Structure 1
Amino acid sequence: MEGTVTVTSGDWESLGEPASLIRRVVFIDEQQVPQEEEWDGLDSACLHFLATLQGEPVGTARLLPDGHIGRVAVLSRARGKGIGYQLMQAAIHAARDAGHTQAVLSAQLHALAFYERLGFVAHGDVFMDAGIRHREMMLAL
């Protein structure tokens, strides 16, 4: 699956349907995150990002009003193509444009190096979230 990647942003009403399908596949199906933890009731307050590859939705992320970036997910068939990086760049720019002085996220341990390449720095102890080991990370904006 090669081609042009486009990242758009919008509210849950406009991007929720494709974003929720991606999150269901990645988090609920692949990673076994309980549905009640994935659907936390915060989506309507977030700015959402949707990555498409040749017009097909393949990745998503969200920016909470407090500057937290979360729910970063790319479908398995589209991984390794820089889509996660493009989603994160869009979320970081949106956080900066919203006036945040830092972006914060909870990274799954296997993804620490990915976020470090974007400039995030891990801090604090490892903690469990939805049965998966995480660490908090911050990026000064």
Structure 2
Amino acid sequence: MRRDRGTEVANQIARGLVAAPHWDGGQAQYVPAPVAAAGEASLSGTRGWALDRLGEPLTLRVLAQHAGLSQRTFMRRFTEETGTTPLRGLLNARLSWAREVLETTDHPVERVARDCGLGTAANLWLHFRRALRTTPTAYRRTLGRSTSPRSACSQAGLRAD
């Protein structure tokens, strides 16, 4: 699938099958977290709002204010709905976004970290090591695009100017 349809399609299929599209060994499996169900009293509106702002500084206070709840109530309800704390949920969402960007672009790791709300490449590296037992660069090498646009152009005999 990777050769025929591309890396993005191969990654989607592999995640659906809970299998790695290409495995070097030693890494954690890259399976996205399930999405919590929305209900009448759910925090899905605030979760969606936060997902649209992952690159911004989001604190428990900001999230609770958006939901119109006290911080304590927000934290309790968020944990009940998602099975994780709000800040852990934000970190997981940021790491998922960073993984997607690493898979689909050639952006430098520093830019990926900044755009995804993780600040610096060192911070992204630290969280990748903890959560996925690999580095952003190794992850990109394993699951990212097999060729950059520039090298794809040269392979096709085109100029990338």
TM-score between both structures, scaled by the size of structure 2: 0.25
The structure whose Rg is larger is: 2
TM-score between both structures, scaled by the size of structure 1: 0.27
Between structures 1 and 2, the one with greater helix share: 2
Which has the higher relative contact order, 1 or 2, with Cα contacts under 8 A spaced 6 or more apart?
2
Between structures 1 and 2, the one with greater strand share: 1
